[in-house]
């Protein structure tokens, strides 16, 4: 179950480096990378935040057609509302207040960031629908189709990048965001096709052993999950805002996009573990096996990350593949080294969080994220006041400290779950 999901996350993680590699090969390398990494991408992620946990929710809840239709109704309503919010930010003067006053990015990346954000308008709706349907695939043991869908998305990204670059005079960020938008839309369409057999032939109309989902029970279950990524993703523009007020601004913002993309790949195997825990937590002997696998995952992912950061592989990737300027590549190397522990604690976050979701005790997840956000914001604020080092370095240290505290709190909450409760509610 884990391997196809991990492959899907790795393929999805390749999207960021592919974007960075392509944009870095075009004119205005630093400005376009900084515009995407500090404006277009983080703002889109924040708007998307409330629907990110639809994957876990759908995996846990969509056991029959009645539940499927209720979760689908919520998905479509949330997608429409969040897309309207995206349009409001991207196409009105509200954008300039967010980019210039709130985030405080340099003037030369404000307009490229606006163009990228406008092109990413389909992003939220496509991802909401896709994650909802992927949960159904995982629930009914078709996780391999999730991997195939991500492969289709990446192929669409590559093709669109090359076609748009070849036959247009658009800027790097415009070409890149067009490709990203096309990729997520095509993946959503593929996932709808893939789930069709389950809906027609495998999903029962009603599971008599399970209680009927009501609006109040669904909101009580999902709202803490929705708040979780929303709070976490607010740290992305907060990080950009903090780095904009620390030394070495442009290099920090440009490097942030590359470092974030590479760290995301290393953490992606841990991200994939969350839905596995949700689906498997109640089975006999699962806890011991999941614990052992989590340890292997944590050690393996962080070891790979350390090898990349501490060996000539970093030069090959940053200089040879991305073609970054030497000064920018050095900033990226240090940022990668500071993030070595992130893949390890991500695996344990998924283990603890998956158990809480399976037990329908999602409040603990929100509590952990609040701890993460508070510590990260305190760290970023302190950096704007006292830091004399490159902004990216201080931001990475703040995120790592906050992430460790978040993981510890999730572990405490998961340890308070009675094993019988996890088993009966999985």
Residue 361's pLDDT is 84
Per-residue pLDDT for 223 more than 90?
Answer: no
User: Cα(418)–Cα(425) distance, rounded to whole angstroms?
Assistant: 11
Which token pair is 337? 């080294």
Say whether pTM exceeds 0.75: no
pLDDT in tens, 66-83: 889 989 999 999 999 999
Which token pair is 192? 């709808």
pLDDT in tens, 306-330: 998 888 888 888 887 777 788 888 8
pLDDT in tens, 253-277: 888 878 887 888 888 888 888 888 8
> What is the average per-residue pLDDT within 340-349?
94
- Spatial CB neighbours of 201, under 8 Å, sequence gap ≥ 6: none
Per-residue pLDDT for 424 more than 60?
Answer: no
pLDDT in tens, 348-381: 999 999 899 888 788 888 899 889 989 999 999 9
Q: Which 8-state DSSP code applies to residue 203?
A: S
What are the b/e assignments for 160-171, b being 16+ CB within 10 Å? bbeebbeeeebb
Least Cα distance to 43 among 12, 73, 87 occurs for 87
What are the b/e assignments for 13-29, b being 16+ CB within 10 Å? bbbbbbbbbbbbeeebb
Domain ranges of the chain: 2-425
């Amino acid at each position: 179950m884990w391997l196809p999901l991990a492959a899907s996350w790795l393929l999805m993680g390749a999207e960021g480096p592919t974007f960075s590699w392509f944009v870095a090969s075009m004119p205005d390398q630093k400005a376009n990378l900084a515009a995407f990494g500090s404006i277009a991408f983080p703002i889109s992620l924040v708007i998307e935040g409330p629907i990110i946990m639809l994957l876990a929710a759908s995996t846990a809840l969509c056991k029959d057609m009645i539940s499927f239709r209720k979760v689908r109704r919520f998905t479509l309503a949330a997608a429409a509302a969040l897309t309207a919010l995206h349009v409001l930010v991207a196409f009105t003067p509200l954008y300039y207040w967010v980019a210039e006053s709130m985030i405080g990015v340099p003037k030369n990346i404000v307009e490229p960031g606006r163009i990228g954000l406008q092109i990413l308008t389909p992003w939220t709706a496509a991802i909401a629908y896709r994650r909802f349907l992927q949960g159904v695939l995982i629930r009914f043991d078709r996780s391999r189709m999730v991997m195939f869908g991500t492969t289709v998305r990446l192929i669409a990204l590559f093709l669109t990048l090359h076609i748009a670059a070849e036959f247009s005079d658009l800027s790097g960020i415009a070409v890149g965001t067009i490709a990203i938008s096309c990729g997520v839309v095509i993946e959503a369409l593929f996932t709808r096709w893939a789930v069709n057999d389950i809906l027609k032939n495998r999903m029962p109309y009603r599971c008599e052993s399970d209680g009927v989902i009501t609006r109040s029970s669904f909101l009580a279950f999902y709202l803490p999950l929705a708040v979780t990524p929303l709070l976490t993703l607010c740290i992305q523009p907060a990080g950009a805002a903090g780095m904009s007020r620390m030394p070495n601004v442009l290099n920090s913002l440009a490097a942030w996009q590359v470092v974030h993309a590479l760290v995301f790949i290393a953490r992606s195997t841990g991200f994939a573990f969350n839905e596995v825990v949700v689906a498997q937590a109640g089975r006999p002997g699962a806890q011991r096996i999941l614990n052992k696998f989590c340890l292997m995952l944590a050690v393996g992912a962080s070891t790979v990350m350390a090898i990349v950061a501490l060996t000539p592989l970093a030069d090959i990737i940053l200089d040879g593949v991305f073609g970054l300027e030497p000064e920018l590549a050095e900033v990226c190397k240090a940022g990668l080294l500071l993030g070595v522990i992130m893949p390890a604690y991500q695996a344990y976050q998924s283990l603890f969080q998956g158990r809480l979701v399976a037990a329908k005790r999602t409040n603990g997840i929100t509590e952990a994220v609040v701890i993460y956000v508070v510590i990260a914001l305190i760290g970023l604020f302190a950096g704007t006041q006292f830091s004399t080092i490159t902004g990216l370095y201080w931001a990475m240290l703040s995120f790592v400290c906050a992430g460790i505290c978040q993981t510890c709190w999730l572990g405490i909450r998961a340890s308070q779950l009675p094993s019988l409760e996890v088993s009966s509610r999985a």
